[in-house]
Amino acid sequence: MKKELALLLFFLVLIVLFYAIYRVSIYHQTVRIFSPYSILTSSWDRYKVQFINKNGRNLDHSQHDITTSEGQSYAMLRAVWVDDKPTFDLIWNWTKNNLQRSDKLFGWKWGERPDKSYGFMPNGGINSASDADSDIALALILASSRWGDQTYQKQAIPILNSIWDEETVNILGRRYLTAGNWATTKVSAEIDPSYFAPYSWRIFSKVDSRHNWTSLLDPAFELLKESGSDNLDYGSAVGLPPDWLEIDRSNGSLHAPTVSNGTTNYSFDAMRIPWRIELDYQWNHDPRDINYLSTLSFLNKQYVANKKLASVYAHDGTIISDTESPAMYATSLGFFIPIEPKTAQNFYQKKVLFFYSNSENSFNNKLGYYDQNWLWFGTALYNHFLSDFRFSNQSKLIL
């Protein structure tokens, strides 16, 4: 009996010891969950059920089931990255048959109109958004490479031609991507900096020899830095880029936007910039990427001080909305991964994977399509899941 009691006490001591070691170890702070690959594939399967109808239309349930070119572009990128060709084809066919204009760009907003018919929404729904146009073109080029079908790439070329002709502008010898086909006047150009995608421009340059896509790089990096340090419509600046800005075509000066509902806040548009710049770094290792991301240290200061990030900051760093946004966390990984890698691990576990549900095999199904997409993109970026399918090492494919 004494021997059994001693053995029991020995095991109890071992249990207490192991628990004490666990409590002070990194594993106590780590969410053990399915593999990153499983998270990305299972959440994609669930996303398709929740947001993509049988025709390939991505539905924004928060806005009466409208469809945006942005939503279609996100779904196409996700489909090619998870190797889901049937869904990619379904989405692309609906997109080109319903959103593509005669100039091969895409109207940005489609749904049920006031007269109960379906089509481009009133008040500018037929206008293009250059981020979606670029992401659709990129998805087609990646699909061509991944699945060995040049048809996709051939369909991308007319889109690239129109992006260049209608959505870029030369200002004092420097070329910028504007917000869309509507965004340039004789006086100014409206810019959404979160539309800048250096990794796309590098790939475009490899398949399209007619246009100098890499000429967009220097102006974009310089504008990102300048817009973060320029006071714009505030008395100071903290390095955060604005959702929107305006460039004076006569002298190149930056101003607060005049576009409807455009602000210089750092919120649901500008928050995408760190993700886009870090993806460029992962694919191309351009030191300009790291140099720019290092200017966003305000994000780390906020996280260290408050253990969270707000969803909307004014250009001077004032908190406008203190609510937490899944998309803000997911996109901010683009800053934390290269600049604060130790914090990035904690940030990823506590502020991104927090929204993943093991029971649902998906990100929280109460979240809207925008948060769902960016949680997926952020998880994929953190785990280096996103591939350019070796385009960074290829020569021009179409001359």
Residue 357 and residue 193: Cα distance in Å, rounded? 33
pLDDT at residue 119 in the model: 98
pLDDT by residue (tens digit) across 114-127? Answer: 999 999 999 999 99
The 245-248 sheet, strands edge to edge? 188-191, 245-248, 254-255
Across the range 315-324, mean pLDDT stands at: 98
Over 90: is that where the pLDDT of 23 sits? no
Contact 47, 362 (CB under 8 A): yes
Contact 335, 299 (CB under 8 A): yes
Over 80: is that where the pLDDT of 72 sits? yes
Residue 189 and residue 246: Cα distance in Å, rounded? 6
pLDDT at residue 9 in the model: 61
CB-based contacts of 308-312 (< 8 A; 24+ apart in sequence)? 308/351, 309/351, 311/267, 311/268, 312/265, 312/266, 312/267, 312/268
pLDDT at residue 30 in the model: 43
Q: How far is CA 363 from CA 33, 105, 322, in A?
A: 13, 31, 22
pLDDT by residue (tens digit) across 157-179? Answer: 999 999 999 999 999 999 999 99
pLDDT at residue 35 in the model: 82
The reported pTM is: 0.90
Contact 325, 302 (CB under 8 A): no
What per-residue string of b and e applies to 228-251 under the rule 16 or more CB within 10 Å gives b?
Answer: bebebebeebbbbbbbbbbbebee
Over 50: is that where the pLDDT of 31 sits? no
pLDDT by residue (tens digit) across 220-277? Answer: 999 999 999 999 999 999 999 999 999 999 999 999 999 999 999 999 999 999 999 9
